[in-house]
Structure 1
Amino acid sequence: MKVKKAGFLTKIVVLALLIAASVCLLRMRVQITAAQSEKARLEAQVAEQTQVNADLKDAVDNSDDPARQADIARDKLGLAAPGEKVIIFTD
């Protein structure tokens, strides 16, 4: 049985296909790396937002707590309970 040798043109075509496949694989690798870093960034953002949501849910669930209302009145609104004295320090 005789084996036919590949011609010069066939070798060039195979080489061109190998180069094209290599370039495509390298581009895909870059895209995969970028997608993985984007995924990690988004997962961190989701974790942060989940914590914010839990804090807000806690604030809503405990909004009827008189001690919490008094703290908000003192800290954010600058109010005082009857009989308390407010001292303001200035520079």
Structure 2
Amino acid sequence: MRTKRASLLTKIVVLALLVAAVTAVLDLQGQIAAAEAQKAELEAQVAAQEQTNADLQDAVDHSDDPERKEDLARSKLGLAAPDEQIIIFTD
């Protein structure tokens, strides 16, 4: 009888360890999925910031361009050349 109890106890311990291992693996899979989602979000933020940096660098590189200055004066300041008229359409 003693060997059967030890055998049953061993099976229970092994089963408990197996359940604990499966639970740990499932938890790790959830953590991995969350980390991959966060990584994708951060990569998108990095790409957006790199585009912003490139746009700013382009603005700095071409800051002396007369056409660029004219475009900025028109779009940001609402200015016009002396021989132009500004027409604003309203709905």
Same fold, judged at TM 0.5 (above): yes
Question: CA 1:48–1:8 in structure 2 vs 1: closer, same or farther (change >3 Å)?
Answer: same
Distance in 1, Cα, partners of 2:89 & 2:11: 87
Distance in 1, Cα, partners of 2:21 & 2:61: 58
Q: Counterpart of 2:73?
A: 73
Distance in 2, Cα, partners of 1:20 & 1:82: 80
> Normalised by the size of structure 2, how large is the TM-score?
0.84
Q: Work out whether 1:36 is the aligned partner of 2:36.
A: yes
Q: Percent identity?
A: 66
Structure 2 residue runs without a partner (length 5+): none
Q: Counterpart of 2:26?
A: 26
Distance in 2, Cα, partners of 1:36 & 1:83: 58
Distance in 1, Cα, partners of 2:46 & 2:30: 24
Distance in 2, Cα, partners of 1:30 & 1:85: 62
Question: CA 1:13–1:90 in structure 2 vs 1: closer, same or farther (change >3 Å)?
Answer: closer
Distance in 2, Cα, partners of 1:28 & 1:90: 59
Distance in 1, Cα, partners of 2:29 & 2:88: 62
> Normalised by the size of structure 1, how large is the TM-score?
0.84
Q: Which runs of 4+ in 1 moved over 6 A?
A: none
Q: Counterpart of 2:52?
A: 52
Structure 1 residue runs without a partner (length 5+): none
Per-residue CA deviations over 1:21-42 (Å, capped at 9, x if unaligned) read 1100110011111111111111
